[in-house]
Each structure stands twice: as structure tokens, then as C-alpha cells.
Amino acid sequence: MRLKETIEAYRRNDPAARSGWEVFWLYNGLHATMYYRVAHWLYEHRLRFLGRWVSQFARRRTGIEIHPAAKIGRRLVIDHGTGIVIGATTEIGDDCLLYQNVTLGGTGMTNGKRHPTLGNNVMVGSGAKVLGPFKVGDNARIAANSVVLHEVPPDSTVVGVPGRVVRRNGEKLDHIHTPDPVRLELDALYARIEKLEEKLKEDQDVSL
């Protein structure tokens, strides 16, 4: 049943998926999560070397590295998938979507929780890096090539390096027209400078 619902999730998220059979036989993202389920079961039953062996075999087979200790919910969709890395203490909720070259990683050599926790229905764009032991809230969207180092509120969109929240309340992420937070700040500074210059000119005219 879980395999069937995951295949259906791929078909909902990928307009190029023409059939369930195509997804089952040809989609590396689905294969990687299938290998992960086996590796995770072995790891949880103290067969940790075998779990790691399966995960490394899957990495060579699919180009996707998922540590067997990670905790992944239902209906995860990995679109294209090449270059994805999911660390050992990562937690991923249900109905999440990851694009190629995403890293869910840590920022140091500390013990314990080192990797992020993704809530339900989180989308992480191509090339994004989410680094550290914090929560990415439900329904959050992380734009392509963002570097996220701090907690992300639910229903928000994060853009940039470092990642900044640019939208809230679940507004749809448009990869083409996603606002540039640095550009927005510069525009605000330019507008303030223009107002100050106008005020300075007015004061000079009054003094004359």
C-alpha cells in the first residue's frame, strides 16, 4: 500500500510520469526510497553494517545517499534525485518533495541531533542546502540554491544565501518570479535615500 501511494504521489508531482509502471521501473527517486526502507529496517534491528551496505549500494545505483538512520515519512517524492544527501539524524514528514542536489546535512561534529527536521508537505528546491538541527515547518517552500541555517516557520517561503523568509501564509512558490531578498532590501534603501535627498533639498531651498 505504501508503495502504491508513493507511486501515485510521483504521478501527481511529475507531469512527465505517464504511468505507474513507468514510475516503478524507471524513477531513481522511488528506487532510492525503496532501498532506504530496507536499510532502515536493518539499521533499526541492529544490523547496522548491513543497513549501511544497502544504503551505499543504493547510492551507487541511484546517485542518492540516504543514511539508514534517517526517519522518513510517507509519500516522499524525489524528483530526478541525482546528488541528494540525507544525513543520519534527518527527519522528513509526509508528502515532502525534494529536487536534485538537495543536501539535508549538519554543520559540525557534535553528537546527537545534527540534521534538520522537515515537517509535512515541505518542498526543497534544486541545489538547496538545509544545514543544522532545526525544524522546517509544515507547508514550507525552500527555493532553489538557498542555504538554510535557521528554523523556518510553517507556511513560508525561504530564498537566498543565507536563506530568508520572503513569503508567509502558504503563498505558492514561483521558481521563475521568486523575489530576491537582497534586491528587495536594496530597493528599500534606495527609496529611503531618495526621500532623504528630497528632504535635504527642501531644507536647503527654505534656508536660501
Per-residue pLDDT in tens (0 to 9) along the chain, 208 residues: 689 999 999 999 988 888 999 999 999 999 999 999 999 999 999 999 999 999 999 999 999 999 999 999 999 999 988 999 999 999 999 999 999 999 999 987 778 899 999 999 999 999 999 999 999 999 999 999 999 999 999 999 999 888 888 876 655 555 555 666 666 777 778 888 888 888 887 777 666 6
- pLDDT on residue 103: 96
Best CA proximity match to 113, nearest among 154, 71, 148, 81: 71
Helix axes 28-44, 48-62, angle to 10 degrees: 170
Which class for 203: exposed (0-12), middle (13-18), buried (19 or more C-beta within 10 A)?
A: exposed
**Exposure of 1 by Cβ count < 10 A (0-12 exposed, 13-18 middle, 19+ buried)?**
exposed
Spans of all domains in the chain: 2-177, 179-208
Q: Give me the CATH topology for the region 2-177.
A: UDP N-Acetylglucosamine Acyltransferase; domain 1 (2.160.10)
Whole-number pLDDT of residue 88: 94
